[in-house]
Amino acid sequence: MTEGRHFLVVAHTGRQTALEATGAVCAQLLEAGATPVISMEQWDDVHEHVPELNGRVRRFEDLDPTLIELVIVLGGDGTILRAAELVREHSVPLLGVNLGHVGFLAESERDDLDYTVRRALAREYTVEERMTLSVRVKSGDEVVYESWALNEATVEKAERERMLEVVIEVDRRPLSSFGCDGVVMSTPTGSTAYSFSAGGPVVWPSLEALLLVPLSAHALFARPLVVGPDSSLAIEVLHRTEAAAVLWCDGRRMHDLAPGARVIVRKSELPVRLARLHEAPFTDRLVKKFNLPVAGWRGPVGRE
């Protein structure tokens, strides 16, 4: 059975609310004649807690991924990042329904679940491409690890008591060296995630750029940097550093870094595609997600 419409449903199945939402979404898809698809890692949880779906959904790993029309994600930003991993090579759009806290990448909330699925079935959404990072680790001339990130790649110390010693590099030229807790290299999408918490700027997602934000750096020149999409950033872990270092990509994929390792970050040629139901400006999303105070605003008068 390979015909018809297929929707991958990805949920944070450790939460009862997510399992209930999974059941509701799958039932709505089935009623519309579409086929819900569940990944293997969620298969047992879904079938145990939503038994009415037994025999009525397909497993993602048994399906040609090109048949997936849309990924419906039920959870917070972490769940959306997981869904992006699953379809990384297939350019399938992700439609997020926030069941978490801020849910910055999500397009709708739990109360709008039925409406969201109806819009998905009617193909009433636009697709927005978000820049991602290509991440490479080198030891000498040898590439020892490669990954990617939608939000950020972070070089961090693995031991709380000690400090990392690093050199930061832009476009293959050294810029500064210092001791620190770590360094965040981010996309505009990630500028409202870890980079934001570390004091980095908020960058509108329509702009393609690379951000670098030091974490608790002991240096005079350790300010956040923003460079163009054709630039490269690199962090070299100095041999004199006493702390063990790790690389995290989106807080999900980890790699240990030996002294002397270099982490090189560039723009990836493969974006993540987000399905959007609303054309609201990014400014409005910031105000809503962060509950920013805008009381008293009267708006522009006449033409600007």
At residue 271's C-alpha, the angle toward residues 107 and 273, to 5°, is 30
User: Residue 206 is encoded by which pair of tokens?
Assistant: 């329509």
Torsion, Cα of 171, 208, 268, 257 (10° steps): 60
Are the C-beta atoms of residues 30 and 61 closer than 8 Å to each other? no
User: Residue 204 is encoded by which pair of tokens?
Assistant: 């509108």
Q: Is 284 a catalytic residue?
A: no
CA-based Rg of the chain, rounded to a whole angstrom? 21
The one catalytic residue among 44, 45, 62, 77: 77
Residues catalogued as catalytic: 77
